[in-house]
Structure formats: structure tokens, C-alpha cells
Structure 1
């Protein structure tokens, strides 16, 4: 553990962000590259040992997924009330007994855990939507759903691309298919927990949508691309602002994921 992190106020009692309306204001999208053949081991360990225990430390575990396009990649999201709460929650969890006991086994499955985007919900009706009800118990069967997380990358310091996506493309997405579960943009605050690196110099928008299967996702994608307003105006303007083509993560929720 590093000897110093950025100075933050004294810790408050750990209170997880709300599950539902008024939920987390800071969200991490974490992509782990794992050692070959060890993803199921990490998923089982995570769902059994790292869900309630992280939430007791003051964060909300939003979603855990197997990457359908990479058998050695595990993707997950967690949320925090704000950046100060994030520092206190991570300090409590990674300095606590649960990580001391089970962290070495988790780390042993990983090649890289530093591909992390620090995000916040974008203003609007699709900032973050969590389903009502309780989290499934340990051992629950994985739902037969596909979650697509599309990452749009824009030039740092330029708000035009994210604004075009939020104000132009998102209405088309909602008009032609299911509304997104979450629409997130880069959180510009400095990382105050240096023990866990995050990607810096980013300007992204992340659209997370749930589908019953891959064919439904492809139909929605085709409908968006064929929409006259998107085809003639919005997508060409967004493309001019991009630094790379959008990347879609096709994700299968684990049995205990809130986002499905």
C-alpha cells in the first residue's frame, strides 16, 4: 500500500450509495485481464466474498460480467457517493480483513487490473438506472441477458462530442430500442486513491444497454444507424469528434450482478 494519498477530510461513517434513484455520483468501469482459464475462479470468489463486504465499506457493486469476446477478461462496475466517499471506502476495504484474507487469491488470477475508467452519470433521464428489488443470493444462476457497454472516445478538453451524443444520439437510441441502463462520462477529479490507478487524460462517454440476446442488440444497432437524423447528421458529426471508433464490450452478467 502506498504511504500517502491525496489529502481528504476525515472519514465519515461508511454508508453505501443508494440502490435506485439518487444513486452513486462516481462510478468505476474496471476491466481485468486474467490468467488463462481462471475467470470462473475469480467470478466465484468475487460474488461470494467481495460484494456485501465492499458495500459495508461504503460503495455499491453495480455489475459483474464475463466479457463474451475475451475468455480471460472480467469487467465490473462499482459506485460511490462522491470522490471523498470513494477514498474512505477504498481505504477501508483494501486496508481491511476481507481483502487481507482473500485479496492474494484474487490477485493471483490477474495479469492486469489497471484498465479503469473513472466516470460520472451524465445529466438527463438515463444517467443510471438500477432494477428494483434485492440482489440475487450467492449461487444464483446467471441471467440470460446481454449487456452492451459502448465506449465513445473524444479529444480531451473538448465537450462537443459528449454533448452531441447526449443531446443528439441518445434520443435516437431511446426511440429505436431499449433505453440505456446508464449513460456515463469522464469524472475529471484527480484520483485520490493512488494504490488503484485509473486511466488519465480521457474524455469518454459510456452507454450501457441491456438486451435479451445478441440478435436484439444487432437489430437496435441497425435501427440507430438507419435512422435518418442519426445517419445524415448526428453520427457524421460525432465521428468528427472521435479519437477512435467506438468500442462495444459485450458482457454476460454474473448471477449476482445488479445490472442485467
Structure 2
């Protein structure tokens, strides 16, 4: 869809959501936009419930009677990391889906909307992961990050030695190559760090030899927060990465749509470091 320049900096974003010419408004885009509005309304209702940090979940105790149990394959804990100006309430549905399919240790991390530096947020994430590993006895965990959360987690893995702790990193609509959407938001320093060519993103292009984490990037062709949408693909010669194209939904739907949740579960249950990467044309149609 072609978007012409406008005098006001927010108009290109609005035109991408609601094109002025009816002929340009496809049925798929219309459905995705309606779904985005519905999800936003629901999330605004849930947002107050996720403002505070969640209580740390105790590690499940062994049976007191010492009864024998059938052997089960231990699954690593999962840490969920929200996006910009958001909180853990965005993961209510995804968390429920993971729990229903055998994940016993699922936790979230809230970082402040006043956070001004991806590097500082990555250090906070690292401390939380170390605490989680110590409390659960796990050597590694899986991380799912939405939007900015995925970028924070990637910085931790690549630049702060987090590949020793993160087995699989799943990113949902994360601006790995930077997004150009809404230039008016550049007043916030962390938004400037998400722009193409920012010093933080340049750091992520540096060599990352022997990185042990397996990366999976879910990206949507109707994600209007990612400009261009393909910026949510992971492209680095040293990383074991798989990119999954999602068709038919927008940015806000990525962490809540059941089809995406199913894809995340499959990734966490099967992806292992060292697997060959797949092209970003591999797809998941949810509409």
C-alpha cells in the first residue's frame, strides 16, 4: 500500500491504518483493524490489573509421601516481557495457553514506562532471569518478548552474555532493524533507540560468535507499528534464527491470538539451538 508524505508527522501512521481511498481498504486489513480496536479496548480494561509486579511463584514441592511419579520431560521456565508503555496484563491469554499445555513455571517482568534506555532494561532483565534460575533450579529459561520487550531480551542475549541463560527467545512484532512509524514519538529516548541506525541497533549488528540462544521472530504483514513490517524479522549471520510470517492480524493481536499462541507453544516445545534457520517466508495464516 503506497503512502504519500504528509505535513503532520502522525498522518502516515493514520493512513496506514485507515487509507483515504476505499478501494485500498482490503477486507483483510479491515478485519485486522477491527480486531486491533477490540483488543485495545479489552487491554485498556485489563491494564490496571498488571501495573504492579506479580508475586514470585514458589517452586512446586515434591509429594510428602514420597510416592513414585511417572517420569516427565522437564520444561524450562518461561519469562514474558511486554512492550513499550505496556505491562504484564497483555499476556493473560498467552500465559493461560502455555499453562494449559504443560508449562508450570511462567512469570512476567514489568519494566517502567519511564525506562529511557534499552541497555538498562536488559540489565534489569538479566537480574530477574538470574533470580528465576536460582529460585527454580533451572539452568536455562525461555523468553517471549512482545515488541520492545523482544528487543530488550535480544540485547541481553547478544550483548550481556544472556545466551548462557536463554535457551529460546521468541519475539513478537519486534523492531529488530528499527521502525520508522510515528516520528512524533521521537521525543522519548527509548523510541529513538528503536529507529533504524540507532547506536543500540548498530550494537546488535556486531558479531555474536557462538551465540547459544535459538531465536524465533513472529512478524505480521499487517503490523502497522513495524514500518516496514519485515523489520520484525531477525537477520544476523551469527544467530540461529527462524522467522515466522503471520498473515491477517496486527501488532496488538500478536500476543493474544490463539493461532499465534499455538505457534509459540510449538516453537518452545521443539526449537533447539543448532537447528537450521528457515526463511522469513514461512507463514502462519490466522485470518
Q: Establish whether TM, by shorter chain, passes 0.5.
A: no
Normalising by structure 2, report the TM-score: 0.26
Normalising by structure 1, report the TM-score: 0.28
The structure with higher relative contact order (CA 8 Å, sep 6+) is: 1
Q: Which has the higher helix share?
A: 2
